[in-house]
Amino acid sequence: MVLDTYEEVEKANGPRDRRLRMEHAEIFPTEDLPRFAKLSVVVSTQPSFCCSDIGSNFDPQDKTPTDRWRSLEQSGATLAFGSDWPCTWPPDPFVGMQQVIRRTVWHSAAASAMVGGVFDGGGQGGAIPTLSSYVPEESITVEQAVNAYTLGSAYARFSENRLGTLETGKEADLAVLSQDIFPAPAEDIAKTHVVMTMVGGKVVFTAMK
């Protein structure tokens, strides 16, 4: 329905750089997947919500795969990752990055019996990781995850000329990490923490001694 509405907006008002988006965008029919790129709809989603005992599908009987990050990437869609804080706790992008790579299934004995509890994913509601993966063929790389958290999110808010990458003339918003996440083992990415943060080229946080 949302994609149909966006398509009608384009037809009625003509093309322009709208950057319409779909928040969460976790669950959609397979036939709608290519429409995100075709309609230039940004997929704004939160990796930490994947993956509970049943993935993140609202209907356990519906086997439609959710959180189809690789398929969306391959279709040419723009991904913008975030935390959905305060609905996600902790709002940790490194937990999210590890999740997009490993797609670990999480289980929460305390929350599973609660209405909505089955949706708790990466570290949510006291959930703990299992040894299973949810639709592992939909994982993406560290580089793709970083791009979605940075440049993809900047693009979604029309700020890619100022934010999202480290380039001359941009605002020098950056974080120094405790490890290089690109060669790090996938299972160790969530252990990453920020040791220094700069906003506009000014240090606003440091944990360095």
Pull the structure tokens for residue 198. 């700069």
Query: What's the predicted TM-score (pTM) here?
Result: 0.89
3-state class of 129 per DSSP?
strand
Phi then psi for 132, rounded to 5 degrees? -100, 155
Q: Is the pLDDT of residue 114 over 80?
A: no
Q: 103: pLDDT confidence band, cut at 50, 70 and 90?
A: very high
Residue 54 has pLDDT above 70, yes or no: no
Residue 1 burial by CB count (10 A; 0-12/13-18/19+): exposed, middle or buried?
exposed
Average pLDDT over residues 3-27: 94
Tens of pLDDT, residues 133-145: 999 999 999 999 9
DSSP per residue, 14-56: -------EEES-----GGGTTHHHHTT-EEEE-GGG--BTTBT
pLDDT digits (tens, 9 = 90+) for 159-195: 999 999 999 999 999 999 999 999 999 999 999 999 9
Inform me whether the pLDDT recorded for 150 exceeds 60: yes
pLDDT > 90 fraction of the chain, expressed in percent and rounded: 67
Q: What is the pLDDT of residue 51?
A: 83
Domain 2-164: homologous superfamily in CATH: Metal-dependent hydrolases (3.20.20.140)
Burial of 128 (0-12, 13-18, 19+ CB in 10 A): exposed
| Domain residue limits, the chain | 2-164
Sort 39 into a burial class: Cβ within 10 Å, 0-12 / 13-18 / 19+: middle
- The per-residue pLDDT of the chain, averaged, comes to 89
Residue 120 pLDDT: 60
